[in-house]
A and B are shown apart, each in its own frame.
Chain A
Amino acid sequence: MSEPAIQVQDLHYAYGDLQAVKGISFDVQPGEILGFLGPNGAGKSTTIKMLTGQLTPQKGTARILGKDVTKDDPEVQAQIGVCFEEKNLYLNMTALENLDFFASLFGIKDADSLEVLRRVGLADRAKDRVSSFSKGMRQRMMISRAFINKPRVLFLDEPTDGLDPVTSAAIRKTIKEEAERGAAVLLTTHDMFEADELSDRVAFINEGEVVALDTPESLKLKYGTRSVKVRLRNGEDVREERFEIDAEGASARLAELAASPNLMTIHTEEATLEQIFIQLTGRGLEG
C-alpha cells in the first residue's frame, strides 16, 4: 500500500473550555473516499479546518501527502482542494473569472476553467455572474472550484446539501471521477445514502471522537441485522410482517409465507448507516 494521502494521529482541538476534537486518528489512501459522518458539533469541521491549515492542532499530528500541516507548506496547499459548506464565491465575478482567479492562486497559467465548468454542467453559464446563479448552481461552482487545481487531496464539506436529486447525482459522479483519478477524498455529509454510495470507508464521529471506522458493508455486518419484510393481502386490507433472517425458525416461516396465495411482496432489509450510528452513539445524525 502506498503512503496515505491524509494521516491523522491523536488530533486534539479545543475552543476555550469546549473540547471539539478529542484524539481523532484516521488515514485516507490515494483514490479512497472516506465518509466523515456525525451530527452538527461532532468535530468534523474542526478536523477539516486543521487539515486545511485554517486551525493549528493543539495536540497530535496531521500529515497531508507526508507533510506536517502545521508547517504551512505552500507545496501542500497547492495539492489540496476544498469545498466549503458555505457558498463563499465571488458573487460579482463570472463563473469563469472565479475559477481563473483561484487557478492563478495555484500558479496555474493555462487552466482549462471552461472544461471544469463543463464537468459540473455550468459551461453554458461560464460568463454569467455567480450572483445570478441558483443555490444548486452555486454548489456546483463550489465543487468545480475545488477541482480547479486537480488536487491530490479533496476536502468536501456537505457537497450535495440541499440539492435536488438530479444535481446531487451529477455531483456524486464527479466526486467518484476524482477518486478514480487518484485523489484522496475526505467527505463530510449528513446524507447516509450518499455516504453509503460514495464512501470506501466511513468514520462515525461523535463528541470529538471516532466511534467507528470501517467500510459500510463491514459496519452493517458488524452492527446491523438483516431482516425480511413481507406484505400479505388480508381481505380488503394489507398486512405487513417483518422478521430477522438469522432468527430461529425464520427460514421455515419465510417458506410458509412465500407459498401463501395472499403474498404480495417480499423485501430483504439491512441496517442503514444511520441506524448503526444511533446504535453506537445513542443519537441521530441530524442533532
Chain B
Amino acid sequence: MSKPISSLALIGALLKKEFKAYSRDTIYLALTLVVLVAVPIVFHFLPDSVDETITLAVSPSVSTMIAEAEDTLRSLGATEEQLAQLDEADLAEQEEGLLLLEFDDAEEMTRVIEGELEAWRTDAGELVLRDPDADTDKPEDATRVNVDIGIAFPDDFIADVATGAGDVTVTVYSDAAVDEEIQAAMRSFVREAAYQFAGRELPVDLPAEETIVLGEDRAGSQVTLQERMRPMLLFMILLMETFSMASLVSTEVLQRTVTAVLVTPAKVWHFLTAKTIFGTLMSLSQALIILVLIGGVTAENWSLLLTVLLMGAVMFTGVALFVGSAGRDFMGQLFYAMLFTVPLLIPSFAVLIPGSVAAWVRFIPTYPIIDVLVGATVYDATWASSWSALAYAGVWLVVLYGAGLVALKRKVESL
C-alpha cells in the first residue's frame, strides 16, 4: 500500500475546499464585501465630538423679570443695596455648558418644546422662531437649537420670593423624552434660584466635597459616538461571520458531503480542525481589516486587541459549529442562529448606552470580549488591567467552542 497522506496535507486540502466553497457562495461573498466597504463609511460619518451643552429655555426673559422685580421692590421700599443683589443673582449669567434661551411668551416656549415651532439662534445670539408648517425660509446665519426643557416663571417671581409673599408656582415644561434626572435637576435649579433671590442660604448644609477621577479624566473630553461604535463594529463583524460559517457547516451536513469526505483518509477531527481554522481566519481577518480602516489600534494595544479578537473569532466559530449542526434546513439554521446570536449581542449595547446594563449581562459569554474591546480601544486598557476579563472570556471560549465541536461531531457521526 502507498504511504498514507499526512494530517497536515488533509487539513490543507479541506481548507482549500472551504475557501473555494466560500468564494462560490455569492450571497455571503457579497455580504462580506459590503460589510468591509460599508462599515468604514458609516464609521466615518459618525459624530467624532460630543456636544456637552445643556439648553434651557426660560420665560419671561431674565432682563424682563429683573426689571419688573426692581419696580415692585422699589415701590415696597427696597434699598439700592438690596436691589443690587438682583444683578448679582442674574440667571442670565451663562455658565460654560449651559445655553439659556429666553422667551418673552411662555406659550411660544411650550410650542417649541412640543415641536410645533422651531427655535433658531443667530450668530449674534438672537432667538428666531419658525413655524415648520408655514412656507417660510430657514433663518440665515442661524443654527437650529433643540429645546427639550423650559421653565416658566410667574410675573412677579423675583419680587414674590424676595419678599416671601405666599406660595409661588414655577412651571417646568419638558419633552416626554427628557430623563427624570434632568427634570429633577431643573426643579433644584428653580429652588436654588428662589433662595438666591430671597437672599437666604439653602436649608441644607452641603458636605465638603472632593472629586477624585480614577483613570483618565475625560471631563471636557467625553467618549464620542465614533469611539463608542468602534468596539461595537468590531464585535458585529465577528458576530456576522457566525451566520456565513454556520451556513457552510449546515450545507455540508444537510447535503451530506461530509459523509463522502469521511470515507476517505480524512477523519472527523481533520474536518473539525479545518472548519475551526477557516471560521476563525475569516472572522479574524475581517475584523482586523475593519480595525485598520476605522483606527483604534496603537503600538500599546495591538497585542491585546489581536488576542481578544482571536478569542472572539474562535468563540463565534464555536457558535457557528453548534448552529450549523443544529439546523435541519435553512430556516432551522436561521432560527438557531438568531436564537444564539441575539443574546450574545446584548453586551454590545452596553457600549452604546453606558449604565443601561443589568448585572446579569455580565454572565453572557460575549460580555468579557466586548469589555476588553471597549477597554483597549476607548480607555487605553492594558494587559494588566484586562487579564481577569480575558481569563473570564477564556472560560466561556472553552465552553462555547467545546459545545460546538461536540454538537458537530455527534451530528457528523450520526449521518
Contacts and interface: CB of A to CB of B under 8 A. Distances in A.
A80 B263 contact: yes
A221 interface: no
Contacts of B257: 88-90
A92 B260 contact: no
A105 B4 contact: no
Given A74-B4, A88-B260, A91-B255, A104 B267 contact: no
A74 B265 contact: yes
Nearest to B256: A88
A220 B257 CA distance: 40
B264 A77 contact: yes
Nearest to B254: A88
B1 interface: yes
Nearest to A102: B264
Interface in A69-91: 72, 74-75, 77-80, 82, 84, 86, 88-91
Interface residues of B, number: 28
A147 B144 CA distance: 76
Interface string A43-78: 000000000111000000000010000001011011
Contact of A84 (B3, B5, B256): B256
Interface in A125-180: 129, 145, 149
Q: Which DSSP category, helix, strand, loop or mixed, fits chain A's interface?
A: loop
A101 interface: yes
B24 interface: yes
Interface stretch (B13-21, B234-242, B366-374): B13-21
| Residue among B2, B3, B14, B415 having the largest count of chain A Cβ atoms under 10 Å | B2
Nearest to A53: B263
Contacts of B223: none
B21 A105 contact: no
B25 interface: yes
Interface residues of A, number: 30
Given A72-B267, A90-B17, A92-B24, A105 B1 contact: no
A243 interface: no
A194 interface: no
Contact of B16 (A52, A84, A104): A104
Interface in B253-284: 255-257, 259-267
A90 B264 CA distance: 15
A163 to B, nearest CB: 20
Contacts of A90: 17, 21, 257
A41 interface: no
Interface in B1-56: 1-5, 9-10, 13-14, 16-17, 20-21, 24-25
B20 A93 contact: yes
B263 A106 contact: no
B262 A84 contact: no
A72 B270 CA distance: 14
A78 B1 contact: yes
B4 A75 contact: yes
Nearest to A78: B265
Contact of B261 (A75, A105, A107): A105
A75 B16 CA distance: 23
Contact of B263 (A54, A92, A107, A129): A54
A6 to B, nearest CB: 15
18 contacts: A53-B263, A54-B259, A74-B4, A74-B267, A75-B4, A78-B4, A84-B256, A84-B260, A89-B255, A89-B257, A90-B257, A92-B21, A93-B20, A104-B9, A105-B10, A107-B2, A107-B265, A129-B24
Given A72-B267, A105-B261, A107-B4, 8 more contacts: A75-B4, A84-B259, A86-B256, A88-B256, A92-B21, A92-B25, A93-B17, A97-B20
Interface of A: 52-54, 65, 72, 74-75, 77-80, 82, 84, 86, 88-93, 97, 101-102, 104-107, 129, 145, 149
Interface of B: 1-5, 9-10, 13-14, 16-17, 20-21, 24-25, 255-257, 259-267, 415
- List 3 A-B pairs, minimum CB-CB distance, nearest first: A107-B5, A92-B24, A104-B13
